[in-house]
Protein backbone atom coordinates (compact mmCIF):
# COMPACT_ATOMS: atom_id res chain seq x y z
CA UNK A 1 0.00 0.00 0.00
CA UNK A 2 1.45 3.34 -1.08
CA UNK A 3 1.02 6.34 1.16
CA UNK A 4 0.48 9.87 -0.05
CA UNK A 5 3.03 11.60 2.19
CA UNK A 6 1.88 15.07 1.22
CA UNK A 7 -1.71 14.17 2.02
CA UNK A 8 -0.86 12.90 5.50
CA UNK A 9 1.37 15.93 6.15
CA UNK A 10 4.57 13.97 6.67
CA UNK A 11 7.59 16.13 7.41
CA UNK A 12 11.03 14.58 7.68
CA UNK A 13 14.08 16.25 9.18
CA UNK A 14 17.70 15.25 9.05
CA UNK A 15 20.00 15.79 12.02
CA UNK A 16 23.71 15.61 11.30
CA UNK A 17 26.29 15.39 14.09
CA UNK A 18 29.85 16.25 13.17
CA UNK A 19 32.74 17.33 15.35
CA UNK A 20 34.38 20.38 13.80
CA UNK A 21 38.05 21.25 14.01
CA UNK A 22 37.48 24.79 15.26
CA UNK A 23 39.66 26.95 17.51
CA UNK A 24 37.15 26.85 20.36
CA UNK A 25 34.23 24.69 21.49
CA UNK A 26 30.72 25.55 20.35
CA UNK A 27 29.35 27.09 23.57
CA UNK A 28 32.46 28.16 25.48
CA UNK A 29 35.95 29.45 24.76
CA UNK A 30 37.82 26.25 25.67
CA UNK A 31 40.08 24.80 22.98
CA UNK A 32 38.86 21.70 21.16
CA UNK A 33 41.99 19.68 21.88
CA UNK A 34 41.68 16.51 23.96
CA UNK A 35 43.94 15.73 26.91
CA UNK A 36 44.62 12.73 29.13
CA UNK A 37 45.53 15.02 32.06
CA UNK A 38 43.08 14.89 34.99
CA UNK A 39 42.78 17.94 37.24
CA UNK A 40 39.60 17.02 39.06
CA UNK A 41 36.41 15.00 39.25
CA UNK A 42 32.70 15.79 39.37
CA UNK A 43 30.17 13.44 40.97
CA UNK A 44 26.65 13.47 39.54
CA UNK A 45 23.31 11.75 39.97
CA UNK A 46 21.23 12.60 36.91
CA UNK A 47 17.49 13.12 37.01
CA UNK A 48 15.00 13.67 34.18
CA UNK A 49 13.29 17.01 33.80
CA UNK A 50 10.04 17.99 32.20
CA UNK A 51 10.10 18.47 28.45
CA UNK A 52 8.73 21.51 26.64
CA UNK A 53 5.46 19.57 26.51
CA UNK A 54 5.40 19.24 30.31
CA UNK A 55 6.14 15.52 30.24
CA UNK A 56 8.96 13.33 31.47
CA UNK A 57 10.55 11.19 28.77
CA UNK A 58 9.89 7.50 29.49
CA UNK A 59 13.40 6.46 28.49
CA UNK A 60 14.89 9.09 30.83
CA UNK A 61 12.67 7.86 33.65
CA UNK A 62 13.89 4.28 33.11
CA UNK A 63 17.50 5.47 33.18
CA UNK A 64 16.91 7.31 36.47
CA UNK A 65 15.37 4.22 38.06
CA UNK A 66 18.64 2.36 37.48
CA UNK A 67 20.08 4.54 40.26
CA UNK A 68 23.34 5.17 38.44
CA UNK A 69 25.94 7.57 39.80
CA UNK A 70 28.53 9.16 37.54
CA UNK A 71 32.03 10.46 38.08
CA UNK A 72 33.38 12.73 35.35
CA UNK A 73 37.03 13.66 35.10
CA UNK A 74 38.09 16.99 33.70
CA UNK A 75 41.23 18.81 32.60
CA UNK A 76 41.46 22.55 33.31
CA UNK A 77 43.17 23.13 29.95
CA UNK A 78 40.05 22.29 27.93
CA UNK A 79 37.09 22.31 30.33
CA UNK A 80 35.18 25.09 32.09
CA UNK A 81 32.09 25.83 34.16
CA UNK A 82 29.88 25.70 31.05
CA UNK A 83 30.73 22.06 30.49
CA UNK A 84 30.38 21.31 34.19
CA UNK A 85 26.83 22.66 34.00
CA UNK A 86 27.65 25.46 36.44
CA UNK A 87 27.43 28.37 34.00
CA UNK A 88 25.07 29.19 31.09
CA UNK A 89 26.36 28.62 27.57
CA UNK A 90 28.27 31.42 25.90
CA UNK A 91 27.39 32.69 22.45
CA UNK A 92 27.98 29.98 19.84
CA UNK A 93 31.31 29.93 18.02
CA UNK A 94 31.01 32.05 14.87
CA UNK A 95 33.61 29.83 13.21
CA UNK A 96 31.43 26.74 13.83
CA UNK A 97 28.30 28.52 12.59
CA UNK A 98 30.11 29.64 9.43
CA UNK A 99 31.21 26.05 8.72
CA UNK A 100 27.70 24.70 9.35
CA UNK A 101 26.16 27.32 7.05
CA UNK A 102 28.70 26.59 4.33
CA UNK A 103 27.98 22.85 4.52
CA UNK A 104 24.23 23.53 4.46
CA UNK A 105 24.61 25.70 1.35
CA UNK A 106 26.78 23.08 -0.34
CA UNK A 107 24.08 20.49 0.36
CA UNK A 108 21.41 22.83 -1.03
CA UNK A 109 19.54 22.93 2.29
CA UNK A 110 17.04 25.54 3.41
CA UNK A 111 18.61 27.73 6.09
CA UNK A 112 16.34 29.00 8.83
CA UNK A 113 16.28 32.65 9.92
CA UNK A 114 16.41 32.06 13.67
CA UNK A 115 17.78 29.36 15.94
CA UNK A 116 17.66 28.99 19.73
CA UNK A 117 19.94 27.24 22.18
CA UNK A 118 18.39 25.09 24.88
CA UNK A 119 19.72 22.78 27.56
CA UNK A 120 19.76 19.12 26.65
CA UNK A 121 19.83 16.68 29.54
CA UNK A 122 21.59 13.45 28.68
CA UNK A 123 20.54 11.19 31.52
CA UNK A 124 22.42 8.11 30.40
CA UNK A 125 25.59 9.71 31.75
CA UNK A 126 27.26 10.22 28.40
CA UNK A 127 27.82 13.91 29.18
CA UNK A 128 27.78 16.14 32.27
CA UNK A 129 25.77 18.73 30.42
CA UNK A 130 25.00 19.79 26.94
CA UNK A 131 23.32 22.41 24.93
CA UNK A 132 21.37 21.90 21.80
CA UNK A 133 20.68 24.37 19.08
CA UNK A 134 17.10 24.31 17.91
CA UNK A 135 16.27 25.72 14.52
CA UNK A 136 12.91 27.13 13.61
Residues 100, 19: contact at Cβ < 8 Å? no
Q: Which residues pair with 115 in a beta bridge?
A: 135
Least Å distance between CB 30 and Zn ion?
Answer: 3
Backbone angles phi, psi at 115, to 5 degrees: -135, 155
What is residue 28's DSSP assignment?
Answer: S
Least Å distance between CB 120 and Zn ion?
Answer: 16
Report the alpha-carbon distance of residue 72 to residue 42 in Å, rounded: 5
Residue 35 or residue 51: which is nearer to Zn ion going by CB?
35
Binding site for Zn ion (CB under 5 A): 28, 30, 80, 82-83
Residue 48 or residue 89: which is nearer to Zn ion going by CB?
89
Residue 56 or residue 130: which is nearer to Zn ion going by CB?
130
Least Å distance between CB 88 and Zn ion?
Answer: 12
Amino acid sequence: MLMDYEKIGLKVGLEIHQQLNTKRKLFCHCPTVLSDKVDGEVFRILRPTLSEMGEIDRAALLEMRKGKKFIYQYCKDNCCLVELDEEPPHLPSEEAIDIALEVALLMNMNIVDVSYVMRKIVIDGSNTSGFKELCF
